Amino acid sequence: MKKKVYETLKKEIDVDIVVERPKDISFGHFATPVAFSLAKTLRKSPIIIAKELSKKLESYDIFSSVEPLKGYINFRLSETFLDNEATIALKNENNFAKGKRDESILLEYVSANPTGPLHIGHARGAVFGDTLYRVAKHLGYKIDTEYYVNDAGNQIYLLGLSVYLSGREQFTDLKVKWPDEYYKGEYINDLAKDAREFFGIEIFEDEKNIEKLSSWAKDKMLELIKSNLKECGIEFDNFVSEKELYKKWDEIFEKLRSNNALYEKDGKWWLRSSEFGDEKDRVVVREDKRATYLAGDIIYHNDKFERGYDRYINIWGADHHGYIARVKAAIKFLGYDENRLEVLLSQMVSLLKGGEPYKMSKRAGNFILMSDIVKEIGSDALRFVFLTKKSDTHLEFDIETLKANDNSNPIYYINYAHARVNQLFKKSKKEVEDIVEVKLEGLNESTKALLFYALLLPEVIEDAFSQRALQKLSEYLKNLAALLHKTYNEQKVIGSKDEDKLLKVFALSALSIRVGLRLMGIKAKDKM
């Protein structure tokens, strides 16, 4: 709707125009401060310009009123316009709030090391990434998702070593000496049991088998990670292996060196990342000739940019904040536009149960498993709560709230609104097709407010994506549900003279709830 207001204004005003929504709807549905922009050029007071423009804009059918106020122009949309928008939406549910874009995006997220099950911190980035993907797809972007598998380096060796030592300790009388660093938790013991079944007990008798165990355990963990994600409706288009990409390291190293990105000092090779915003230069090759973790990121991002997407989005844990400048510096040295990479950060989560800190999983060692929380509150509640705050801010929630079947639980409250509309149609023995052509005239203020708010979904989706602020979706759905419940409670629907009009407004509201929840990876409930 904002776009329609903008296009109407453009017919009368050939300057940059800002259209905004007043916080207080009593001023109107939309407003513009464009008179202030024109004041200098026209050499008139913004108040006079606003009055003159208001008179010209009154003739457009889209508006029921155009009012100047202290230099601003406030617009109220006509019932005819709102009705027409509602009819189009209800007749074309599959295209409601959809768009078309020419831009291509590669979205990488989660990318947790395949050395253990996903924990609750990983889950937040996973839900945010999957929802960003769904919203972008809905808006018409050509978007692919990717999981970067860190299957090279010391962490994979440690996984194999941990399984190897656990197996020796559980199933043999052979000596076991645990190192200072290893993976803990019952899942390691379970992997050792599975390894005995798969390889036989002799796999634990010779340390030469650690490499074989490492590769096998990594694959088992990756299967588990995929399973954890699928429980929340999250799947990826691509999984990219760091180990496979390392085959290109010599080629990338030479490319960096020829671009004067590297220098040798103290037996190490350093990236001149400080030249492009990093706080200091970074080592990419150690004294023992082994490439560092950063080298893997450089190879991967070279591979990404070679694939020719218009934009690249990475979702990283907040602890990776320091990597942004060095990776962008490497991209610049590789000859690409580093501004095409956008890095979004996902903060950790504090979890409570009945006001007390949630207990760590014995199976996982020292963190809370994503799969445990999904089992306790369900995928819908988990996804919703992770989308109630911007991803780069701290999130704390109590799972008992999300198990409640009352209005204190936001996902219950929203689903109840959707189910309530479904029940209204059942009682009326009508289908949406029966009321879609009814004219929405003479609505009371509460119903008009609900109609307008239900039609705001396209704008909310656009803002949520462009600002990377997916919490706008959950906020919108909570407010829409509240308006729906309020309108329902204020008047009789079934059997009233305005039954068909009210059913049409409620049907539109339910459509917005259904689409909004779907973009969050949640299926709206038809009955509660």
Q: Tell whether 314 and 440 lie within a shared domain.
A: no
Q: What CA–CA distance (Å, rounded) separates 149 from 36? A: 53
Q: What CA–CA distance (Å, rounded) separates 153 from 243? A: 8
Q: Tell whether 261 and 322 lie within a shared domain.
A: yes
> For the segment 440-485, what is each residue's pLDDT rounded down to a tens digit?
999 999 999 999 999 999 999 999 999 999 999 999 999 999 999 9
Residue 256: inside a domain, yes or no?
Answer: yes
Q: Tell whether 492 and 383 lie within a shared domain.
A: no
Across 30-34, 112-116, 355-359, least confident range: 355-359
pLDDT at 365 > cutoff 80: no
Residue 437: inside a domain, yes or no?
Answer: yes
Contact present, 65 and 75 (Cβ < 8 Å)? yes
Q: Tell whether 274 and 189 lie within a shared domain.
A: no
Q: How confident is the model at residue 153 (pLDDT cuts 50, 70, 90)?
A: confident
Q: Tell whether 194 and 288 lie within a shared domain.
A: no
* CATH code for position 467: 1.10.730.10
Q: Tell whether 13 and 157 lie within a shared domain.
A: no
Q: Tell whether 181 and 244 lie within a shared domain.
A: no
Report which secondary-structure segment, H or E, holds 352: strand 349-353
pLDDT at 362 > cutoff 90: no
pLDDT on residue 359: 85
Q: Tell whether 248 and 328 lie within a shared domain.
A: yes
Residue with tokens 């009123």: 65
Residue 138: inside a domain, yes or no?
Answer: no
> In which region does residue 360 sit, left (phi positive, over 0), alpha (psi from -120 to 50) or beta (all else)?
beta
Q: What CA–CA distance (Å, rounded) separates 140 from 154? A: 41
Q: Tell whether 222 and 351 lie within a shared domain.
A: yes
Q: Tell whether 71 and 176 lie within a shared domain.
A: no
Residue 495: inside a domain, yes or no?
Answer: yes
Q: Tell whether 420 and 372 lie within a shared domain.
A: no
Candidates 255, 50, 273, 235; CA nearest to 147 is 235
Residue 137 neighbours by CB under 8 Å, 6+ apart: 143
pLDDT on residue 24: 85
Residue 451: inside a domain, yes or no?
Answer: yes
Positive/negative CA dihedral, 75, 80, 81, 87: positive
Q: How confident is the model at residue 26 (pLDDT cuts 50, 70, 90)?
A: confident
Residue 394: inside a domain, yes or no?
Answer: yes
Which residue range(s) make up the domain with 6?
2-77
* CATH code for position 67: 3.30.1360.70
Q: What CA–CA distance (Å, rounded) separates 141 from 105? A: 7
> For the segment 385-402, what is each residue's pLDDT rounded down to a tens digit?
999 999 999 999 999 999
Total structural domains within the chain? 4
